[in-house]
A = this chain, B = another copy of it.
Amino acid sequence: MESTISKTIKKTTKIITQPNLNSFIGVFNSKKRSVNKGMAPGSLVFIGNRKMEEPKISIIDYTNEHFEEKQIEKHDISELVSFKESNTVSWINIDGLHETELIGQIGEMFGIHPLLQEDILNTAQRAKFEDFEEYLFITLKMLSINRGNKHLSSEQISFVVHKNFVLTFQEKEGDVFNAVRERIRTKRGKLRNVGNDYLAYALLDTIVDNYIYLLEYLGEHIADLEMQLLKRPSESLLTKINTHKQELHFIAKAVRPVKEMIKDLIRAESPIIHKKTTPYLKDLLDIATQSIETIESFREILSDYLNIYHTNLSTKLNEIMKVLTVFSAIFIPLTFIAGIYGMNFQHMPELDKEWGYPAVLVTMFLVALCMLAFLKFRKWF
């Protein structure tokens, strides 16, 4: 007998043991600004986790006719100067932020404000746009999900958009911009015919589109939860709901400032952004808005799931208690009757009668029947 009870109780104490909730807190804590406590503003300190061996600098320089692509070693960064004044579209991409001196040198070479250099290195920075007249500074988060352990991760990507060049800074080497690179190489789309501003847009578009894809992926998982909730609610389901809530919170925190950022970018009406590029930026704004609305929808759905889960618990408690009460209501009076005739009084006339025992049995049966009929009538079952 103990074994089944043991199982019942085991379940009681098992509640929520998958350590899955901590994505947000974890991410927040892994990127500590406090490492540069007490330093002068503008001091370059990399805030984050080193995600690759060696920084990588790559250049793509093109016009409609011309195309050049190359890697530059970090001791040859003086080569970059030539792209600063060229009239071609020049895209300089730096992967890896942990070598702060390198970022400092590039920053100085291209005349980037020290505070922006700090922002590039501070991967806990929230998405923002700043207009420095000569160039525009944009920073935002690239979100991705590890299809293995299903952990969300975010990477900070910063843009410096100048009339003559686009600088991009990534935490680690990745394939996020490969589609754009391929479109430039193969002259697909209009990229080769337009300027640095459209290049910046195309890159931003890659990142912002990705929010929608991520939410679609998440949406599938949430829909799965629903099926489980309808079938067999369990504690692990509760944990999953809470994990998804945290993930959505994490995504919202990245995406919400992106919307503001794009709005600011459009409103700035910088001469660096051609008038023809504005509709594309507005399209970007639409996607960001839609992402935020979808996040809100998902959060509301998850919160509905939690409510359903709780109502389930209450309904079950009611039913458990009904079973207990039905059992007690039927057997307690019967046991009492048996108790009466178990008393040892010498003068209990019923005990001597031959019909005594069957009469009591019949009485018991009738009492039980009445009880059942009564509960039935009251719609307890």
Contacts and interface: CB of A to CB of B under 8 A. Distances in A.
Interface of A: 1-2, 4-13, 15-19, 21-22, 24-26, 28-29, 32-34, 37-43, 113, 115, 118-119, 124-126, 128, 130, 179, 183, 188-191, 201-202, 205-206, 209, 212-213, 216, 219-220, 222-223, 226-227, 229-231, 235, 238, 242, 245-246, 249, 253, 279-280, 282-283, 286, 289-290, 293-294, 297, 300-301, 304, 306-336, 338-348, 350-354, 356-357, 360-361, 368, 370, 372, 374-376, 378-381
Contact of A372 (B4, B22, B206): B4
A345 B339 contact: no
Contacts of A326: 4-5, 8
Contacts of A242: 304, 307-308
Contacts of A297: 24, 28, 249, 253
B222 A25 contact: yes
A179 to B, nearest CB: 4
Most central of A2, A9, A128, A226 by chain B CB within 10 Å: A9
Contacts of A17: 230-231
Most central of A18, A309, A331 by chain B CB within 10 Å: A331
A290 B188 CA distance: 40
Contacts of A307: 242, 306
A378 B1 contact: no
A196 to B, nearest CB: 16
Contact of A280 (B21, B115, B212, B308): B115
Nearest to A118: B283
Contacts of A212: 33-34
A320 B323 contact: no
A118 to B, nearest CB: 8
B304 A246 contact: yes
A315 B15 contact: yes
A128 to B, nearest CB: 7
B179 A16 contact: no
Given A8-B381, A329-B324, A334-B336, A37 B308 contact: no
Contacts of A301: 24-25, 246, 249
B328 A19 contact: no
A381 B331 contact: no
Nearest to A220: B29
A323 B315 contact: no
A13 B375 CA distance: 11
B345 A341 contact: yes
A370 B2 contact: yes
A335 B309 CA distance: 37
Nearest to A260: B289
A95 B342 CA distance: 85
A294 B28 contact: yes
A175 to B, nearest CB: 10
A270 to B, nearest CB: 16
Contacts of A342: 338-339, 342-344
A357 B348 contact: yes
A213 B34 contact: yes
20 contacts: A5-B327, A5-B374, A9-B375, A9-B380, A10-B378, A11-B319, A12-B320, A19-B230, A25-B223, A40-B188, A41-B189, A42-B189, A125-B286, A125-B290, A235-B315, A246-B301, A327-B328, A331-B335, A341-B344, A344-B344
